[in-house]
């Protein structure tokens, strides 16, 4: 069947943007056809109709675009918007249409489509040398809404962790990417849109040429890269994608930075998730996470930077001490802190405002927000002048006031500009003489109207004659019916009222056309002036980005200081020794969640003298998990530059934090609970160094008792003998307490419990020594298990504990403890399994 000219136009646009939903502008509606229409009807709840009874069709009014875009993006779709690019009234034949914008999850700049507190990363992955497990990948990522662009080379086994840290909304990879890698990316990050790009965009020469041209350089060495790094291939491919989809300037992407993993404390995805740093395990929401409880920032820029500091803590003392010095000074000076926070709370999101200006998408209100933010700078700069902390002094030096730009915006813009530039009402009176003249004409020229009215009264002799105007009929001469006999012949009737008639004359009609023409010219001139202002702001993109970074940093420092002051946090003493000494440590999340004064603090002592590995036993619900988690969280907080909830803290810097906390089936990866548990344990044992901190909450619980004890035993020995790192191991295997006799750096600790009659009281205090009971049946009672089940469980427990071995020497309870440290792991495994199965 032959297509109509309009459908041919649609198909051409559709073919140029494969893999995207095409929104096709038809008059006041955006329409979708074929499969796109069926997708849109399902995602947006639109009524599915048909064109010519054969082509599925769905649409919505053009003013509903932003809301529907948000839904489509959240559903993981990419969208091409095909607009009418000429006035239908002036078009000769078919209205010309072009794709004016491509919207994907990773290329957003609009505030109403983004979470202001979250970065929005677009990631590119380029397989480097060797594509197996030992291979290397080049990564590049950009937050287009701020212009931050980074790249790094990573080992293949780090890919999952990096994607977890960056949480990209969209990922680019070559078309020839293996299905195994694609499936891995999609399974591990189901919320991420995966976009396969032509292989030529990942060709080294093509990618490198794109970078050199964009940054107008001959080498990328100045950005800290060697020319052959795989990450530069990813960076170039990413840049080509932005140029293709954005259809706007990328001037705010002014450089690409090398991300050096050696500068940071590394946190793998398992640890990040299990410690609930940015999302809770229960529902995946920000609320309830450590980030939510730490966040006292007053700007969106600060909230995003705080998250960056949290997921990428520092690994070097000098920059950490600089942050802590600044937080300390702001904590001590209450007035300074409050005045800074009050000033910053009035600032706009200068990073995203600058990005929208640079890409040509800024509105009049965006420029007004830039001006408002610039007006705050002199006062903020004065507040941080001549401070003790070197970081505050450095921020003051880098804070550019942009005085000329601020004055230009203040002079040009009205106090409350409209949302869109086409509405007019943007430019302040007195800024442009030609515009003021047009306004005088458009207002009706009171003097001309008064003179014309006097002239017509004299000519007609009708003293009650008056000149008026309304939006429907324009200008008119109104005369009551009593003077109908005096109407001049050149008066043309325009409107009849109950007691009067309204007329127009050639002279008044000519003036009306002049006024209406002036209104069109006003809109045109205001749009031209607005464009010039936007260009002027865009010229200072680099300066504004630097200023935005300063404001964000000030916001985070002041927020951390406010948190420390209000929650009585202490400054951690950082050192390079393998120690972890914290007095009266508190969990930063639970302390704020529980009623005031109810959280029980505990001390922590790890080091060559105090012991490098703490084995913590005790019943469920007593506080083992809280204790070991809070040690990890306080270490992490110290290395992001925050004070910590404790009475005193001395923390030796760690290079990595590992956790093995609980486990669950991962059916989508065909992995059982025990397999997940062992995979996480293997990651720790293979990658931990003496400078690492390891947190273990149960090992071996996913298999039989003897298997589990044997594995936990051997893992504990390996951590102690081979790795020698600081570690806390919470376990129900009381048998492991016997290791203290063999391992000199291991210390036994337990959670204190008070037994009262047939009940137990959890004291939540950690003390030296090991527990010899698990109180599992007591906990089951607290959970609401029926009394009949509890009674039977007690009977079985009594029987098992008193049952003799085959030779009648010892009850079962003592036999389980008789796993001497001299036996090998596999000897224990085989012997235990044989004893457990023989009659």
SS3 annotation, 271-305: HHHHCCCCCCCCCCCCCCCHHHHHCCCCCHHHHHH
**266 lies in some domain:** no
Average pLDDT, integer, range 372-399: 97
Q: Kindly state whether residues 474 and 581 are assigned to the same domain.
A: no
pLDDT score for 817: 39
- Contact (Cβ atoms closer than 8 angstroms) between residue 101 and residue 13: no
SS3 575: strand
Distance CA 581, CA 251 (A): 49
Residue 419 has pLDDT above 70, yes or no: yes
Q: Kindly state whether residues 550 and 582 are assigned to the same domain.
A: no
Chain centre to alpha carbon of residue 838: 57
Q: What is the pLDDT of residues 144-165, one digit of tens each?
A: 999 999 999 999 888 889 999 9
**417 lies in some domain:** no
pLDDT score for 663: 54
Distance CA 46, CA 43 (A): 8
Last residue of a domain, one of 103, 131, 154: 103
**Exposure of 672 by Cβ count < 10 A (0-12 exposed, 13-18 middle, 19+ buried)?**
middle
Last residue of a domain, one of 45, 68, 103: 103
H-state helical runs in 568-672: 590-593, 624-638
- Residue 298's contacts (CB-CB under 8 Å, 6 or more residues apart) are 341, 344, 345, 555, 559
Q: Which of 283, 259, 287, 246 is nearest to 165 (CA)?
A: 259
Q: Is the dihedral of CA 438, 440, 446, 452 positive or negative?
A: negative
Longest dimension (CA), the chain: 135
- Contact (Cβ atoms closer than 8 angstroms) between residue 579 and residue 607: yes
Residue 121 has pLDDT above 90, yes or no: yes
Distance CA 748, CA 611 (A): 10
Of 153-162, 209-218, 766-775, the poorest mean pLDDT is in 766-775
- Please state, as a whole number, how many other Cβ atoms lie within 10 Å of the Cβ of residue 220: 22
Strand stretches in 34-72, DSSP E: 49-51, 55-61
Strand-pairing partners, residue 56, are 50
Residue 12 has pLDDT above 70, yes or no: yes
What is the end-to-end Cα distance of the chain in Å, rounded?
A: 80
Between helices 825-837 and 705-718, what is the axis angle to 10°? 170
Q: What is the pLDDT of residues 708-744, one digit of tens each?
A: 889 999 999 999 999 999 999 999 888 899 999 999 9
Q: Mean pLDDT for the chain?
A: 88
H-state helical runs in 168-283: 179-188, 204-215, 230-246, 269-274
Last residue of a domain, one of 494, 521, 548: 521
Give the domain CATH number at 52: 3.40.1170.10
**277 lies in some domain:** no
**218 lies in some domain:** yes
Give the domain CATH number at 708: 3.40.50.300
**304 lies in some domain:** no
Residue 697 has pLDDT above 50, yes or no: yes
Average pLDDT, integer, range 503-516: 88
Q: Kindly state whether residues 560 and 587 are assigned to the same domain.
A: no
Q: Kindly state whether residues 460 and 591 are assigned to the same domain.
A: no
**815 lies in some domain:** yes
Q: Kindly state whether residues 680 and 803 are assigned to the same domain.
A: yes
Full domain range(s) for residue 40 = 5-103
pLDDT score for 129: 58
pLDDT score for 835: 40
Q: Kindly state whether residues 689 and 797 are assigned to the same domain.
A: yes
Distance CA 141, CA 162 (A): 11
The count of structural domains within the chain is 5
Q: Kindly state whether residues 142 and 73 are assigned to the same domain.
A: no
Q: What is the pLDDT of residues 551-561, one digit of tens each?
A: 999 999 999 99
pLDDT score for 822: 38
Distance CA 771, CA 734 (A): 7
pLDDT-based confidence at residue 113 (cuts at 50, 70, 90): confident
Q: Kindly state whether residues 88 and 139 are assigned to the same domain.
A: no
Distance CA 469, CA 466 (A): 10
pLDDT score for 180: 79
623 or 153: which leads in pLDDT: 153
Q: Kindly state whether residues 608 and 675 are assigned to the same domain.
A: yes
Q: Kindly state whether residues 562 and 607 are assigned to the same domain.
A: no
**452 lies in some domain:** yes
Residue 838 has pLDDT above 50, yes or no: no
670 or 201: which leads in pLDDT: 201
Residue 53 has pLDDT above 80, yes or no: no
pLDDT score for 753: 84
**14 lies in some domain:** yes
Q: What is the pLDDT of residues 449-494, one digit of tens each?
A: 888 999 999 999 999 999 998 878 888 999 999 999 999 999 999 9
- Contact (Cβ atoms closer than 8 angstroms) between residue 697 and residue 639: no
pLDDT score for 54: 83
Residue 642 has pLDDT above 70, yes or no: yes
Q: What is the pLDDT of residues 219-234, one digit of tens each?
A: 999 999 998 899 999 9
pLDDT score for 790: 82
Q: Are strands 257-258 and 148-155 parallel, antiparallel or unpaired?
A: parallel
Distance CA 452, CA 450 (A): 6
Q: Kindly state whether residues 753 and 619 are assigned to the same domain.
A: yes
pLDDT score for 778: 77
Distance CA 787, CA 793 (A): 10
Average pLDDT, integer, range 663-684: 71
Chain centre to alpha carbon of residue 644: 24
Give the domain CATH number at 135: 3.30.420.110
pLDDT score for 779: 78
Q: Kindly state whether residues 713 and 766 are assigned to the same domain.
A: yes
**Length in residues, the chain:** 839
pTM, two decimals, is: 0.86
% residues pLDDT > 90 (the chain): 65
Between helices 334-344 and 364-383, what is the axis angle to 10°? 170
């Amino acid at each position: 069947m032959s297509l109509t000219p309009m459908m041919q136009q649609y198909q051409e646009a559709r073919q140029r943007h494969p893999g995207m939903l095409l929104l096709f502008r038809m008059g006041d509606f955006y329409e979708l056809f074929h499969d796109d229409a069926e997708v849109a009807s399902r995602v947006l709840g639109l009524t599915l109709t048909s064109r010519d009874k054969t082509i599925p069709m769905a649409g919505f009014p053009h003013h509903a675009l932003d809301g529907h875009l948000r839904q489509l993006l959240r559903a993981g779709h990419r969208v091409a918007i095909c607009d009418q690019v000429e006035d239908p009234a002036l078009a000769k034949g078919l209205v010309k249409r072009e794709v004016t914008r491509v919207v994907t999850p990773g290329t957003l700049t609009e505030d109403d489509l983004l979470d202001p507190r979250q970065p929005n990363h677009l990631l590119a992955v380029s397989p480097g040398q060797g594509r197996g497990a030992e291979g290397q990948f080049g990564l590049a990522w950009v937050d287009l809404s701020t212009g931050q662009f980074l790249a790094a080379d990573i080992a293949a086994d780090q890919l999952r962790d990096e994607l977890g840290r960056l949480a990209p909304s969209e990922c680019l990879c070559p078309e020839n990417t293996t299905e195994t890698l694609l499936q891995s990316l999609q399974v591990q990050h189901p919320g991420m849109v995966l976009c396969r790009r032509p292989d030529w965009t990942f060709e080294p020469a093509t990618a490198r040429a794109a970078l050199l041209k964009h940054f107008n350089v001959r080498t990328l060495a100045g950005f800290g890269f060697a020319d052959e790094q795989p990450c530069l291939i990813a960076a170039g491919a990413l840049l080509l994608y932005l140029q293709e989809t954005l259809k706007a300037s990328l001037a705010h992407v002014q450089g690409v930075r090398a991300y050096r993993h050696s500068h940071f404390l590394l946190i793998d995805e398992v640890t990040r998730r299990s410690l609930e740093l940015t999302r809770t395990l229960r529902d995946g929401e920000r609320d309830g996470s450590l980030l939510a409880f730490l966040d006292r920032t007053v700007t969106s820029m600060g909230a995003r930077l705080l998250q960056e500091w949290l997921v990428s803590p520092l690994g070097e003392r000098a920059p950490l001490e600089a942050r802590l010095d600044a937080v300390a000074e702001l904590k001590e000076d209450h007035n300074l802190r409050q005045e800074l926070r009050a000033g910053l709370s009035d600032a706009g999101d200068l990073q995203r405002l600058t990005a929208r200006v640079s890409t040509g998408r800024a509105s009049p209100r965006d420029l007004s927000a830039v001006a408002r933010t610039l007006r705050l700078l002199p006062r903020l700069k004065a507040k941080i002048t001549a401070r003790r902390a070197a970081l505050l002094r450095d921020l003051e030096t880098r804070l550019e006031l942009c005085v000329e730009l601020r004055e230009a915006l203040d002079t040009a813009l009205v106090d409350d500009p409209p949302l869109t530039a086409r509405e007019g009402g943007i430019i302040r009176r007195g800024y442009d003489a030609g515009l003021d003249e047009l306004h005088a004409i458009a207002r009706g020229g009171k003097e001309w109207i008064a003179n014309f009215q006097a002239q017509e009264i004299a000519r007609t002799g009708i003293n009650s004659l008056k000149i008026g105007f309304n939006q429907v009929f324009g200008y008119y001469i109104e005369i009551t019916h009593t003077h109908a006999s005096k109407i001049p012949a050149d008066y043309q009737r325009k409107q009849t009222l109950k007691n009067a008639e309204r007329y127009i004359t050639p002279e008044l009609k000519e003036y009306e056309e002049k006024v209406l023409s002036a209104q069109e010219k006003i809109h045109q001139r205001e749009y031209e002036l607005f464009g010039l202002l936007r260009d002027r702001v865009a010229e200072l993109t680099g300066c504004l980005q630097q200023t935005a970074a300063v404001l964000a940093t000030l916001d985070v420092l002041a927020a951390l200081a406010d948190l420390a002051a209000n929650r009585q946090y202490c400054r951690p003493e950082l050192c390079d020794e393998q120690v972890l000494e914290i007095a009266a440590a508190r969990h930063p999340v639970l302390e704020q969640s529980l009623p005031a004064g109810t959280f029980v603090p505990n001390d922590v002592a790890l080091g060559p003298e105090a012991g490098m590995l703490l084995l913590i036993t005790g019943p469920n619900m007593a506080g083992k998990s809280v204790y070991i988690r809070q040690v990890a969280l306080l270490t992490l907080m110290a290395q992001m530059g925050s004070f910590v909830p404790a009475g005193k803290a001395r923390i030796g810097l760690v290079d990595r934090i590992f956790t093995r906390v609980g486990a669950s089936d991962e059916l989508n990866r065909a992995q059982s609970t025990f397999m997940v548990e062992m995979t996480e344990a293997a990651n720790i044992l293979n990658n931990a160094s003496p400078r690492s901190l390891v947190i273990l909450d149960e090992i071996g619980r996913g298999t039989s008792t003897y298997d589990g004890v044997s594995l936990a035993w051997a893992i504990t020995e390996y951590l102690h003998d081979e790795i020698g790192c600081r570690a806390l191991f919470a376990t129900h295997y009381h048998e492991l307490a016997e290791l203290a006799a063999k391992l000199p750096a291991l210390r036994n600790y337990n959670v204190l419990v008070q037994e009262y009659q047939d009940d137990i009281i959890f004291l939540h205090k950690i003390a030296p020594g090991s527990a010899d009971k698990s109180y599992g049946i007591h906990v089951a009672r607290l959970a609401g298990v029926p009394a009949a089940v509890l009674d039977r469980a007690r009977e079985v427990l009594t029987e098992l504990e008193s049952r003799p071995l085959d030779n009648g020497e010892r009850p079962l309870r003592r036999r389980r403890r008789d796993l001497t440290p001299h036996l090998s792991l596999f000897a224990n495994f085989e012997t235990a399994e044989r004893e457990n199965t023989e009659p």
